[in-house]
Amino acid sequence: MTRKLTVKATADIAKKWGDVTPGKSVYYEAEATKAGATWESNAKGAKGTYKTALADPKIGDRFEGGIKGKAGKFERKVKDVGVARFGPGVSAAVSDMETGFSPYQGVLAAMEVADRGPRGAAQNYDIGKKIGDALHAKRLAVLGAAS
């Protein structure tokens, strides 16, 4: 014997989700704030899966399929959510920015570069390359991916 699955209309499901879920922020805070170590451990454990996924010949198609037709949603979310969260998000991230940028600031502060030449001179491009190479090497070292 079989039966047809009963499923509410998508609009009804979305409305209930929108009405009920915002009131669950207390649960979100309680659980999410203690999940960092588990997240980190699980993410590290997925290294092989990540590498396998990137090697899949269809990964580019999946990536494109995930973003195709989403420009309107992106722009709407920036306007409806992102703008209001931008300032508070930056304020909450000041110490993270300082910690994250510190290794690169040290590289830049220790560098010596040639004086700038006239506009368009090759030595000007060499300055940018020297800085870029040093910052890239530091990034790889910070990520533990230095060659």
- Number of domains the chain contains: 1
Q: Which long-range contacts (CB under 8 A, 24 or more apart) does 101-110 make?
A: 103/138, 103/142, 104/135, 104/138, 104/139, 107/134, 107/135, 107/138, 108/134, 108/135
63 pLDDT higher than 80:
yes
Q: How confident is the model at residue 147 (pLDDT cuts 50, 70, 90)?
A: low
- Tens of pLDDT, residue by residue over 88-103, are 999 999 999 999 999 9
| Mean pLDDT calculated for residue range 133-143 | 96
Q: Is residue 25 part of a domain?
A: no
Q: Is residue 116 part of a domain?
A: yes
Per-residue confidence (pLDDT) for residue 31, from 0 to 100: 95
Per-residue confidence (pLDDT) for residue 64, from 0 to 100: 95
Q: How confident is the model at residue 59 (pLDDT cuts 50, 70, 90)?
A: very high
Q: How confident is the model at residue 145 (pLDDT cuts 50, 70, 90)?
A: confident
Per-residue confidence (pLDDT) for residue 58, from 0 to 100: 95
Q: Is residue 145 part of a domain?
A: yes
Domain containing 128: what range?
111-147
